[in-house]
Structure 1
Amino acid sequence: MANGVQRDHECCVCHPGCLGRPLSGRHIHMIRLFSILACIGIGGGFGALAREGTMSLMHGIIGLPAFVSLAFVNVFGSFLIGIIFGSLEGHLNRDGTSRLKQAPHHRHLHQLPWWPNGDLTQPAVDLLQARITLQTASAISITGFLGAYTTFSAFSLLTVQLLQSGQILNAIISVVGSVCLSLLMVWIGLHVGVRIAFRKSLTGE
């Protein structure tokens, strides 16, 4: 009988006899996994289109060299990822586990009463909802959109092609410029994102 009850709880939610019965932990995990994968896929599709559009504009229409156009894509994407990560983590992650604790930018959040140990006044269901929103938004915008918008593989291929064609100086400019500027723009983006999160938290948005 116990095995029968267990099977009932783990049966497929789509089965007519299962309607209204609780889902097992395995089913909940699978639903969350496929939801996140769907978000990544949607964001990734738009990110790839945005990258192709940016490259076509800068290289095909404006006439900039391909390595300059690709460097712009990666640097701009790095700036965006800093802003989005900082704003999402700083505003939505209120359970005391924010990854911003490891970055010096978090000092801007110390004026908030719930930082850095979390908001103990919020109900657990609200904290859970905020975490789900954080995971969904991160999957769409960071892993999906910006993961497809920026491209390390194309950057590596283009750099090798520059070296093979004897354009040593352009290859050096591409590598040093892309890496250094991308790191700098992530840093600046984090600063901007944390300030956005701080203002949102103050206004209660």
Structure 2
Amino acid sequence: MQKLLLIAIAGGLGSLSRYSLAGAVQRLFGASFPAGTFVVNITGCFLFGLVWGFLEDRLTLGPAARMIALTGFMGAFTTFSTFIFESVALLNSSQWLFAALNITGQIVLGILLLAAGLYLGKLV
């Protein structure tokens, strides 16, 4: 129960960080391009790798601490970083088919299903 509470707190902090950073960037660049989301997603990828590498190589924290940092904070900050991390893990383990399926599947199906949900949502 304590682990879930810590993940929820870290998730709240990640969400607030995402909101703050995306808003600041979007105000700076204007509304013509989703610069806020773009910056959050690429920053999230860098931070995910940085946190993972730091926790993996320098600190001997248990799986719970990794879960709090990566699933809690980073998961709320951006799920894009998790998508990229898992895709890179598949590529690093030479699972080319699964990597291609993961990358193209999530992007193509994500676009198609968002459009389908939008269409159905307007019907209701």
What is the aligned partner in structure 2 of residue 122 from structure 1?
none
Q: Which has the higher contact order (CA 8 A, sep 6+)?
A: 1
Structure 2 CA distance for partners of 1:38 and 1:65, relative to 1, 3 Å: farther
What is the aligned partner in structure 2 of residue 139 from structure 1?
67
Is 1:39 aligned to 2:10, yes or no?
no
What is the aligned partner in structure 2 of residue 89 from structure 1?
56
What is the aligned partner in structure 2 of residue 77 from structure 1?
44
Greater gyration radius: 1
Contact 2:29 2:35 in 1 (8 A): no
Identity percentage of aligned residues:
34
Structure 2 CA distance for partners of 1:58 and 1:65, relative to 1, 3 Å: farther
Structure 2: which 5+ residue stretches go unaligned? 81-106, 116-124
RMSD: 2.7
Matches within 5 A, 1:19-34: 34=1
Aligned-pair CA distance for 1:61 = 4.5
Aligned-pair CA distance for 1:63 = 2.0
Deviations 1:65-122 (A, max 9, x none): 4522211101100100101111111123xxxxxxxxxxxxxxxxxxxxxxxxxxxxxx
Give the distance between the partners of 2:13 and 2:42, measured in 1 at CA. 18
Give the distance between the partners of 2:36 and 2:68, measured in 1 at CA. 24
Give the distance between the partners of 1:136 and 1:144, measured in 2 at CA. 10
Higher share in helix: 2
Give 4+ residue runs of structure 1 displaced > 6 Å after superposition: none
Structure 1: which 5+ residue stretches go unaligned? 1-33, 93-129, 162-205
- How many positions carry a matched residue from both structures? 86
